[in-house]
């Protein structure tokens, strides 16, 4: 598992160290407008906090590379979730991401006989391709930017998640996202449909058949650098006796420069094994 974390870190370092000089040889870098790469969602793709968007991460244009790394911490009633990773974007077209979700059971771990602060690690490998439209530039058209993507989740607690009823520890989500900036209204809208069988974002493995789930985000632009918004994400409910709910959040994202973004949110993840999980979400993103 540690090697996977280091893979993530190495990837983040690589995107920063290798791509930056490569970029310097091209016409420029980071030329897209502030916040138009979204932030890093909890599974590592560019998006809101809980859901991927059709926007490609980083600030690279159709002639440029982009990259970002992030660290997110969510502190709920009974657990904490850390997520960190990096993405590389090519020509505002394709996005590759790798990230780690570290779910800390805190005292629940002890009560389940797993030990206090027992952790479940999920490594997520993501790829996203923009297939249609331009959310930002095509302001006289209703056609949104559309992207398709995959998120493969590798869970390190095979025995545990199977004992809780999961069929598999690992599995892939497939999604299509449509994002539109309604600039005349300072409003960004996103809708994502996801085929998934992941239990609790994949933290509790994979069960049952693939089902379509819906995710939506709305963000209002207050200034060039600040957006506020809310999100919803429906989830499957496949584990007997361990009810799973829809997740929500309300957020404010602040990008003082193209190299930095801070997102603060209040998230309600619904029931996770022992009760409703609500709490603060903070995320830092650095990139270009």
Partner 1 sequence: MRHENLFMGDQIMYRIYRRTNLSVSLAALAFACTAGLPALAQTAGATSAPTAPTITDGTRLFEDFGGKPGLVKIMDDFMDNLLADSRTKPFFAPADQAHIKAMLVEQFCQILNGGCVYSGKDMATAHAGMGVTEGDFYALVEDLQKAMNKNHIPFASQNRLLAALAPQHRDIVEK
Among 17, 33, 110, 282, which residue interacts with partner 1 (rule: CB under 8 A)?
33
Contact of 39 with 253, CB cutoff 8 Å:
yes
Cβ 29 to partner 1 shortest distance, Å: 8
For 270, the token pair is: 């619904």
DSSP 234: -
Q: Which residues pair with 218 in a beta bridge?
A: 189, 230
Cβ 57 to partner 1 shortest distance, Å: 16
| 176 contacts partner 1 (rule: CB under 8 A) | yes
Contact of 1 with 158, CB cutoff 8 Å:
no
Of residues 140 and 209, the one with the C-beta less far from partner 1: 140
| 107 contacts partner 1 (rule: CB under 8 A) | no
Among 133, 171, 202, 270, which residue interacts with partner 1 (rule: CB under 8 A)?
133
| Cα–Cα dist 59/193, whole Å | 25
Nearest to 49 by CA among 285, 260, 268, 281: 281
How buried is 272 (Cβ within 10 angstroms: 0-12 exposed, 13-18 middle, 19+ buried)? buried
Of residues 38 and 133, the one with the C-beta less far from partner 1: 133
Which range touches partner 1 (CB under 8 A), out of 13-21, 70-78, 110-118, 220-228? 220-228
35-74 binders of partner 1 (CB under 8 A): 61-64
| 82 contacts partner 1 (rule: CB under 8 A) | no
Of residues 74 and 147, the one with the C-beta less far from partner 1: 147
| 183 contacts partner 1 (rule: CB under 8 A) | yes
For 220, the token pair is: 């209002």
| 25 contacts partner 1 (rule: CB under 8 A) | no
Of residues 185 and 243, the one with the C-beta less far from partner 1: 185
| 20 contacts partner 1 (rule: CB under 8 A) | no
Q: Radius of gyration (Cα) for the chain, nearest Å?
A: 18
Contact of 45 with 52, CB cutoff 8 Å:
yes
Q: Which residues, 6+ apart, have CB-to-CB distance to 13 below 8 Å?
A: none
Of residues 221 and 269, the one with the C-beta less far from partner 1: 221
| Cα–Cα dist 187/221, whole Å | 6
Of residues 132 and 280, the one with the C-beta less far from partner 1: 132
DSSP 16: H
Nearest to 203 by CA among 74, 101, 80, 76: 101
| 259 contacts partner 1 (rule: CB under 8 A) | no
Nearest to 82 by CA among 73, 90, 93: 73
| 156 contacts partner 1 (rule: CB under 8 A) | no
Applying CB under 8 A, what is the total number of residues that bind partner 1?
33
| Residues near partner 1, by CB under 8 A | 27-28, 31-33, 61-64, 131-134, 136-144, 146, 176, 182-186, 221-224
């Amino acid at each position: 598992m540690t090697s996977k974390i280091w893979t993530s870190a190495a990837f983040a370092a690589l995107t920063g160290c290798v791509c930056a000089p490569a970029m310097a040889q091209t016409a420029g870098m980071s030329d897209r407008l502030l916040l138009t790469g979204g932030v890093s969602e909890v599974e590592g793709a560019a998006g809101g906090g809980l859901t991927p968007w059709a926007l490609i991460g980083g600030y690279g244009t159709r002639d440029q590379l982009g990259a970002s790394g992030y660290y997110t911490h969510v502190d709920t009633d009974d657990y904490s979730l850390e997520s960190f990773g990096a993405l590389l974007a090519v020509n505002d077209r394709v996005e590759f991401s790798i990230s780690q979700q570290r779910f800390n059971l805190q005292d629940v771990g002890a009560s389940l006989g797993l030990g206090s602060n027992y952790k479940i690690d999920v490594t997520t490998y993501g790829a996203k391709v923009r297939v249609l439209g331009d959310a930002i530039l095509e302001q006289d058209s209703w056609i949104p930017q559309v992207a398709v993507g995959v998120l493969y989740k590798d869970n390190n607690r095979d025995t545990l998640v199977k004992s809780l009823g999961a069929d598999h520890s690992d599995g892939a989500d497939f999604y299509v996202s449509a994002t539109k900036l309604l600039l005349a209204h300072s409003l960004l809208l996103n809708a994502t449909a996801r085929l998934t069988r992941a239990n609790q974002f994949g933290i509790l493995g994979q069960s049952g058949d693939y089902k379509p789930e819906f995710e939506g985000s709305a963000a209002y632009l207050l200034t060039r650098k600040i957006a506020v918004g809310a999100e919803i994400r429906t989830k499957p409910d496949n584990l007997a006796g361990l009810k799973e709910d829809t997740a929500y959040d309300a957020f404010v994202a602040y990008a003082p420069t193209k190299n930095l973004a801070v997102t603060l949110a209040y998230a309600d993840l619904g029931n996770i094994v022992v009760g409703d999980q609500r709490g603060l979400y903070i995320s830092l993103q650095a990139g270009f």
